[in-house]
A and B are shown apart, each in its own frame.
Chain A
Amino acid sequence: MKNGIRKNRYKDNLAGYLFILPNFLGVFIFILFPLLISLAMVFMDWDYLRGFDGIDWIGLDNFKQLFQDDYFWQSLKNNVIFTGVTVPVAMLVGLIVAVFLNSFVYLKNFLRVLFFLPYVSSIVAISVVWSVMYNPSEGPINQFLRGLGIDNVPGWLASQHWALPAIIIMVAWTYTGYTMVLYMAGIQGIPKDLYEAAEVDGASKLRQFISITIPRLKPTSFMIAITLIISTFQVFAAVSVMTKGGPLNSTMVLSYYIYIQAFQYYKVGYAATVSWALFLIILLITLLQWKGQKKWQDEF
């Protein structure tokens, strides 16, 4: 009898491992193994053009260089601005649209498609189109602004001051559809009788939104914030297509800086170091948010 159970246990284990095996092989070869290699590369000065001969073990010198690297700090600053503006804007607009589409308009399924179309579209194609729209002299955006009587129109992607805002506007536009879809799903999970009770008590729609909708959506908001911060911190395609980090590094972000170091200068050890810095920053933000969420929910 005992033997039979043990045999079953063994069969269960085997079945589980066999089901996971194909997936785990992929995760190991393409995620865990590269992660370890990259951790080792942090301690190397490796000029990849010279192959394995190009490796010099240099201890922590890459980090020393990182702390003195103005481009790194500039990129990090741009990343922080980029995420710090894009995420709240996309969340706020998405929330407002979700609330209205959910209960205050007709044709909600049709309108919903239009709102999330930018999110599922190729960011490369979108960046190409917006680059032309941002054209300072002839593009439709500046022509529209001139039509409003603004003479001193922004230089957008050609301007050191406007390039980053230009990319932020576009990316926030694409993420609005994403936050909207998630907020709509969240709102549908709120029990209807809460609103009915509030209605009976004579609470206005705005009051209901503030006292019922927003608190009930806290878990959704945290989840959106975490996913969006992780993904906006890795912004690459928009920068690569629209500005290549310029003008004057005003749109240089960490992911693009890593790309340049690795695939234009072939300084793969230093590129790995910058990518670990990016990882640790994302990790830190996620952990802080996790803690904040716990604290906030306990209070709620």
Chain B
Amino acid sequence: MTLQRKLMKWILTIVFAALAVGMILPFLWMTSSSFKLQSQMFQTPIDWIPNTVHFDSYIEVWAGKYPFALYYWNSIKITAISVLGTIATSALAGFAFAKLDFRGKEVMFLLYLSTMIIPTQILLVPRFILFDKLHLVDSHWAIILPGMFSVLGTFIMRQFFSTLPNEILEAAKVDGAGVFRTFWQVCLPLSKPALVSLLILSFTWHWNEYEGPLIFLRTNELYTLPLALTNFVDENTTNYTAIMAASVSALLPLILLVAFFQRWFVEGIASSAVKG
């Protein structure tokens, strides 16, 4: 590469680094504000790194009258069970769609694909009635149960299993392995990249889910983080620094996850795209 081109590349790097910082400016402002006092919050010019760091807002959020630790736990619990369920059901069905031969496979797969354009809103009202009759409204199960199945997840797993060569399956069959053992001991260990991508994607979906909890949860102690956050904002409309501290608390786990597993996020997002 010539010196001139190298220089050009560095200049563009600086330009795009500036743009990238611009992209995360709201996050920086949020974090900086969460360590300020209410009186410093809207000072101009913005004091990005406050001279004295105040933890008052965090104390208010975490040790105040709201059980934030409990909200965290609710989110963790719901997310963990939903993610595990999604991975299990998606891997099983994805394997069948990719590698097993059974009657009605094509029709069924088409049916699966077509459910992807059904808007959630059309399903929430009947689901509410269903859960109401089953006495599951205002319980975590109303969110966990539908969360354990994902058509998109099934699709991602199917795409991955399709790339495995059939020889592997035939070799396992010759060795006397049944279908389930072939799946469990041969194919599943090979599909770690897809599993990790699905894990991270479905973690994001469930951790951020809002409309389901908003409709199904009534009792404050059952709230998940997004719901708890909006509730906190509704009851503390002008306590801006505390609102920021609550937002940081809600966003932090995902931001850390992105920082450590960025490659998997990228692969997950790319594989979630249905190619026509």
Contact = CB atoms under 8 A, between A and B. Distances in A.
Contact of B119 (A33, A116, A124, A234): A234
Contacts of B244: 129, 132
Interface in B198-254: 204, 207-208, 210-211, 214-215, 225-227, 229-230, 233, 240, 243-244, 246-247, 250-251, 254
A234 B42 CA distance: 34
Contacts of A120: 204, 254, 258, 265
Task: Determine which residue in A104, A125, A184 has the highest number of CB atoms from chain B within 10 A of its CB, and name it.
Answer: A125
Given A15-B179, A125-B247, A140 B42 contact: yes
B274 A227 contact: yes
A184 B194 CA distance: 19
B92 A113 contact: no
A271 interface: yes
Interface residues of A, number: 97
A241 B226 CA distance: 10
Interface stretch (A160-168, A206-214, A217-225): A217-225
Contact of B100 (A16, A116, A254): A16
Interface stretch (A20-28, A57-65, A196-204): A20-28
A35 B111 CA distance: 13
A241 B269 contact: no
Contacts of A41: 125-126
B117 A282 contact: yes
A106 B146 contact: no
Interface stretch (B6-14, B52-60, B62-70): B6-14
Nearest to B119: A234
A268 B151 CA distance: 26
B197 interface: no
Task: Determine which residue in B17, B95, B102, B128 has the highest number of CB atoms from chain A within 10 A of its CB, and name it.
Answer: B102
Contact of A105 (B12, B119, B183, B255): B12
A128 B233 contact: yes
A248 interface: no
Contacts of A259: 121, 211, 215
Contacts of A24: 93, 108
A263 interface: yes
Q: Is the interface of A mostly helix, strand, loop or mixed?
A: helix
B107 interface: no
A128 B229 contact: yes
B221 to A, nearest CB: 19
Contacts, number: 272
Contact of A129 (B26, B100, B151, B270): B26
A178 interface: yes
A34 B130 contact: yes
B73 interface: no
Interface stretch (A81-89, A150-158, A272-280): A272-280
Given A122-B225, A236-B121, A31 B115 contact: yes
A300 interface: no
A233 interface: yes
B78 interface: no
Nearest to A283: B117
Interface string A101-141: 10011110101111111111111111011111101001110
Contacts of A226: 276
Contacts of A101: 16
B130 A15 contact: no
A128 B247 contact: yes
B92 A27 contact: no
Task: Determine which residue in A19, A227, A234, A258 has the highest number of CB atoms from chain B within 10 A of its CB, and name it.
Answer: A19
A185 interface: yes
A181 B119 contact: no
Contacts of A181: 266, 269-270
Contact of A22 (B92, B211, B262): B92
Contact of B24 (A13, A114, A132, A272): A114
A84 B184 CA distance: 46
Task: Determine which residue in A20, A48, A147, A182 has the highest number of CB atoms from chain B within 10 A of its CB, and name it.
Answer: A20
A133 B29 CA distance: 9
Contacts of B61: none
Contacts of A12: 100-102
Contact of A130 (B20, B26, B102, B121): B26
Contacts of B215: 259, 263
27 contacts: A15-B180, A16-B96, A19-B95, A26-B146, A33-B126, A37-B129, A101-B16, A105-B13, A106-B10, A109-B263, A117-B23, A121-B255, A124-B229, A124-B230, A125-B251, A129-B26, A131-B233, A185-B266, A223-B275, A230-B119, A234-B121, A237-B226, A263-B128, A272-B125, A278-B121, A282-B117, A293-B276
Interface of B: 8-10, 12-13, 16-17, 19-21, 23-24, 26-27, 29-30, 41-42, 44-46, 88-90, 92-93, 95-97, 100-103, 105, 108, 112, 115-130, 145-146, 148-149, 151, 154, 179-180, 183, 204, 207-208, 210-211, 214-215, 225-227, 229-230, 233, 240, 243-244, 246-247, 250-251, 254-255, 258-259, 262-263, 265-266, 269-270, 273-276
